[in-house]
Structure 1
Amino acid sequence: MTGIVVYDLEYTTWTGARERRWSGPGEHREVVQIGAVRLDDGAELSLLVKPRINPRLSAYFTDLTGVTQDQVDRHGMDFPEALGQLADFATGARLASNGADEDVLRENCDLNGTDFPFDRRCRDLAPLLMAAAGAQAHIYSCEMAATFGLATDQQSHDALGDARQVAQVLRHLFKTGRVLPSDLL
């Protein structure tokens, strides 16, 4: 592994879906937005994805993320293409996310009949970040900078903005010696 790519996903949701764990009729966590940041050079990737099973975004999702149906219709790509772009972006790197994003990627691979290209390359940072913050509960990516007393101007529930916040916090933790880059490998 030559580097670390912090990534975040936004995926289809509806009022109450999280509480139901997306178990309602027709509810799937289909990826709509992928954001990624390379820790070594700061390169970024931002992609919109067209959900296949639920192609119409809910008003709840749009209100939460700011991603509109028009944006997805005009600039979105099919999931396999987006996954390929993420894989190219992350060549040789470990992927790191704050939470269950690996599970969501795997679900989307299953939904789209696509192989998962990141076996043994994903790391869930949530336990490490919770320990560094002294937190007893999961810290949402959109609250990451504030939790560590860092300023941010990133939009909440934007995949790239959330990936940037997690990357910002990791760099801060590396600089202060609270976490070592080797802790992520």
Structure 2
Amino acid sequence: MTTFVVFDLEFTTWPDALEQNWSAPGQFREIVQIGALRLRAEAASDSSDSSDSSVYSVVEEYEALVRPLMNPRLSPYFTELTGIDQESVDREGLPPAEALTAFLAFCEGQSVLSYGNDMVVLGENLGWARARGDEIKSSFLSAGFLNVRPWLNTVAPATAPANVGRLWQVLGLPKPPVSGEEHSALFDCHSFAAALRHLRAAGAALPEAWL
């Protein structure tokens, strides 16, 4: 069985940080939540039915809260946006090196797809961890990270202004039957997966070279 991974990150933010590209003093895109799904891939030649619900179905999930270190206190803006509160992060958050190691192990040997340049944020956080002297026990280079947003927006132009957590809504799909809302990393992954299934059923499967 061939599989691939879709993932999403939630990271520290403040009012206008997106518009200013996190350029204000002290603003760093520290990961606070990681969500990922391992999906079953199937070459088009292996299935004559493009609507087969087993294609791009979820095989395994990964989810973790992460404790930011440079800005350990979450901004009210971040909490309102994501629903992630300080108490949950303080209680359940993993040290960054532990979470990054586990996530990269989950991705090892896989194509890893994001809706946007989340791999850039991942790389920033790996760099900060290594600069602190933290040991990352898995390699970023053992997986193939790819931003598929340009492809997805091209085959489904209505999605162009939508964030990943709204893909299901823009495409007129049922809301993913999982807990959470948009800007919850694992919910956003399920929204992403639903969009990929829908597009495959419509004849716009992910290129096999990516998987």
Where structure 2 has 5 or more consecutive residues not aligned to the other structure, the ranges are: 41-56
Question: Match of 1:132?
Answer: 155
Question: Match of 1:117?
Answer: 139
**CA 135–30 in structure 1, closer or farther in 2 if over 3 Å, else same:** same
Which 4+ stretches in 1 moved above 4 angstroms? none
For normalisation by structure 1, the TM-score amounts to: 0.92
Give distance in 1, aligned partners of 2:85 and 2:173: 29
Question: Match of 2:86?
Answer: 69
Which amino acid in structure 1 is aligned with residue 139 of structure 2? P
Contact 2:158 2:171 in 1 (8 A): no
Q: SS at the partner of 2:23? A: coil
Give distance in 2, aligned partners of 1:128 and 1:147: 16
Give distance in 1, aligned partners of 2:120 and 2:161: 16
Structure 1 residue 182: deviation in Å?
Answer: 1.0
Contact 1:8 1:36 in 2 (8 A): yes
What pairs with 1:15-164 in structure 2 (closer than 5 Å)?
A: 15-40=15-40, 42=58, 43-113=60-130, 117-119=139-141, 121-135=144-158, 137-153=160-176, 154-164=180-190
* Number of equivalenced pairs: 185
Question: Match of 1:167?
Answer: 193
Where structure 1 has 5 or more consecutive residues not aligned to the other structure, the ranges are: none
State which structure, 1 or 2, has the greater radius of gyration over its C-alpha atoms.
2
Which amino acid in structure 1 is aligned with residue 67 of structure 2? K
For normalisation by structure 2, the TM-score amounts to: 0.81
**Percent of residue pairs identical:** 42
Which amino acid in structure 2 is aligned with residue 109 of structure 1? L
